[in-house]
Structure formats: structure tokens, C-alpha cells
Amino acid sequence: MKPLAWIFWSLRWILAVIGLLALLFGLLIATPLSRPPELTSIRAGARAVDQSGLPDISRFQARDGSWLAYRLYAAADGGGRNIAIVIHGSAGHSTGTNEIAKRLAAENYLVVAPDMRGHGESGTRGDIGYYGQLDDDLEDLIAELRRRYPQPHFSLLGFSAGGGFALRVAAGKLAADFERLVLLSPFLGYYAPSSRSAEGSAQWATADLPRIVAISVLGRLGLRCCEALPVIAFAVAADSEKFVTARYSHRLLFNFGPPRDLDAAFRSLRMPTTIIVGAADELMLADRYADIVRGVQPPIAVTIVPGLTHMDMLHAAPALDAIGAAFKEK
């Protein structure tokens, strides 16, 4: 290739790359992230959770030096051998799992309910420092509990988005730490068979898809400049941002969620695992969970609780009974 032709060829590619970057940055700012109308069933369900007996916030230090919040529920028998870690759902925090935690404490579990980083009293609301930081935080919490309690046996429960997160970590880097897994109305991804379509059903979140795509492409190009931008907004009340997390950044959204390969994740599990969901869940299709885990060995139990909605699973007596039963199964 002649020098002049090579120069023109190089300039053409440079201009193409500059054009692509300009397009991506345009997508980042083109449309402001808008919050969907309040989903009243979620707020009503959150308010229905009895807050009596809620422990004060305790803190542990994560590897980055941050002090992260959790609530500790003493086991009824005073022991610390059986420990249940309970993960809240999207936009929430540890107070939402108060009734579940009290029920498990009554079943002689020492219960730890963290505010996941980016929520409640942990870190910057709606953001984390890097992809995978929530996994590191949970690993640090487990290490702290191992220092405090001799020879503990850990169980993990996750609700909604916390259920998807719990599945991913229990099937991944923390698989050896847990002896039981309970997924409560788990969110397994936007395209999972168990997730209702936003069309014709309750809308809990609005995602800025162009911004998500743009940030993902920039990340693959090694440009990490925009990962803290909000990319999804939740249908919380306008006056509730003091208490809940109304938006997630790109890195929080993709860390606090399910594994990419559901089938591989479920098939990698070796601990007893139970899925519990309400038959009237307005966000999930209760009868599709059994299809997702059909043929998985060891078998994964699916319990459908009649008449209960998504948030009912946090406080309704039949849901608490189902959770208690799952923790008793061998």
C-alpha cells in the first residue's frame, strides 16, 4: 500500500472510531432516565412488614475499608452454629426482611440481614465501586462471622433480585460456603421464563436500554468512565427516596442480579435448594419456576403458596411457614 493511501485508510478508520464513540456518548445522555409510576402493591407490602423487634444496625469492615451495615438476630437457643444470611430485594434494605429474620431466629438460626452496598446504610445509595464488589462484600461478611463464631454452618436466603444474586454467588465463587439455599420469589433475569413481561402486568422498573448498551460497549473498549451513571429506575413513591434506592448505576444493576446461564447455575448447585413463590405474584410467573429447574439433580423443590403476591412473601403467615419448613428440610 502506498504511503498516501495508507494515511487515508488510517484516517478513515480513526474517524469511524471517533464517530462510534460520539454515538455511544450521545446515547449516554440522549434520554434522561425516568421513573415509572409508583407500584402501590410494592409500597403497601413493604409497609405491611412488622418492624417490631428490629435490631439496631451493626457494621463490619469490607476489604476496601468501608463499614457496611447489617442487622443481627440472636438465635432463640443462643447459639451461633447455624447462621442464615438473608438478602433483601431491589431498592430495599434489611428492614424489609425483619419478619423472615425473626421467624428463622425462632427456629434457632442466628440471622444476619445486611444492607447490600448501594442500599440502606451501606455505601453510596444506588452505586458500588466496581463490578463484583457485592460478591466481595458478602465474602468479607462471611469471613467476619467465621472469626466471631466457631465452626458455623451457613444458609443463604435471597428475595426477588436478592434471590437472583443469591443463586449466582451460591453457584459461583461462594459455593463452598453455603449448606442451604432458599430463593424467595427470585428474579432470574428479564428474559427468564419466570419473569412477567412489562406489557400487561405490573411495572416495577424502567431501564434506559440505549445507555446500558453504550456503557457496556465502552467497557469492552476499556473505557470505564460512565459505569456510575444510573441506568434503571424503580417504581417507588416520589417521597420515599430517603428510605429506598430509587435508581441503580450500571455496575450495581449488573452485580446485584442473577447468573447469565441459569441452567448451568442451577445444575452446579450441590446444597439443598428451595424456590418459594406466591401464586398471585404480580411480577413473577409462579408456575414457570418448576419448568426452569426440571431435570436438575439434585432436585430443586418449588413451593407455590396460594393467594400470595410478591411482597406478601415477606410477611404473610403462610409464606413464613413455607420458609420455616424449607430451613428444616434435610
**pTM of the predicted model, to two decimals?**
0.90
For the chain (330 residues), the mean pLDDT of every run of 10, in chain order, is 52 51 57 83 93 98 98 96 97 97 98 98 97 98 97 97 98 96 97 84 86 86 88 91 93 97 96 98 97 96 98 98 91
Residue type at 39 in one-letter notation: L
Alpha-carbon gap, residue 113 to 157, rounded angstroms: 10
Distance of alpha carbon 23 from alpha carbon 144, whole angstroms: 46
pLDDT in tens, 200-254: 567 899 999 888 888 888 888 888 888 999 999 999 988 888 889 999 999 999 9
Query: Which domains does the chain carry?
Result: 40-328 (3.40.50.1820)
CA atoms of 226 and 175, how far apart (whole Å): 31
* Residue ranges with strand state E in the chain: 57-61, 67-73, 82-87, 110-114, 153-159, 178-184, 205-207, 230-234, 247-249, 273-278, 301-305
d(CA 250, CA 33) in angstroms, rounded, equals: 12
Beta bridge partners of 157: 86, 182
Q: Which amino acid is present at 121?
A: E
Q: How many CB atoms lie within 10 A of CB 12?
A: 10
d(CA 330, CA 149): 23
Q: What's the confidence (pLDDT) of residue 23?
A: 59
Q: Could you tell me what percent of the chain has a pLDDT over 70?
A: 89
